[in-house]
Amino acid sequence: MSHLKPILLLLTILILGCKDNVETNLSSQDSGVLIQECFSKLDKENALQAIFENQDFQTFLHPEIEDRLPLKIVKTQFITKDLGIYIKDNKSLITDSTDVSEATVRLKIENKNCQSKKIAYVLFYPIEGAFVKGEVIKNDKIWVVNVESSGEIGEKSVGYKLN
């Protein structure tokens, strides 16, 4: 009977660990340190879609100007090339940090809260000298954007390093 205790303990830990039914992925950073990702691919796509469709960013996008679409977004640990993000029916291009231009959006994830499904971010769009700072929160099945501030100022003002 004593040999069942470790097995029961392990099963209890596994069940409790999966109780929120949150998809977790392990990914590696450049430093080689493994981190746990608590947002599914669909959650990331919908959260990013909400950020880029928000009027505070759309004000600076100017899709009528040549070469603004498809939107180019710098790849990060959170923004991976397998994501499908569409702006004005154009699939966004996710580029490596070595392949950036003035028209490439930089999105810095400042904080992620897995429990409350909240992501704090700063978005910088160099071609317009524009930034949007806010958070996106999952409310039921919809991601809602709350913008803290936005405007047309340089990257140093929002604390985002381009390269």
Query: Is residue 57 in some structural domain?
Result: yes
Tell me the pLDDT of the chain averaged across its residues: 79
The residue among 20 and 94 whose pLDDT is bigger is 94
Query: Is residue 30 in some structural domain?
Result: no
Q: Which domain holds residue 44?
A: 40-158
Q: How far is CA 151 from the centre of its chain?
A: 20
Query: Is residue 93 in some structural domain?
Result: yes
Who contacts 78 (Cβ-Cβ below 8 Å, separation ≥6)? 37, 39, 44, 107, 109, 112
How many helices, marked H, and strands, marked E, lie in the chain? Answer: 4, 10
Q: Beta strand pairing status for 72-74 and 104-113?
A: parallel
SS3 (DSSP) at 136: strand
Query: Is residue 131 in some structural domain?
Result: yes
What tens digit of pLDDT does each residue of 18-27 get? 433 333 444 4
* H/E stretch holding 6: helix 4-17
Query: Is residue 145 in some structural domain?
Result: yes
pTM summary value: 0.73
Query: Is residue 32 in some structural domain?
Result: no
Query: Is residue 148 in some structural domain?
Result: yes
Of the pLDDT bands very low, low, confident and very high (cuts 50, 70, 90), residue 99 is confident
Query: Is residue 33 in some structural domain?
Result: no
How many domains are there within the chain?
A: 1
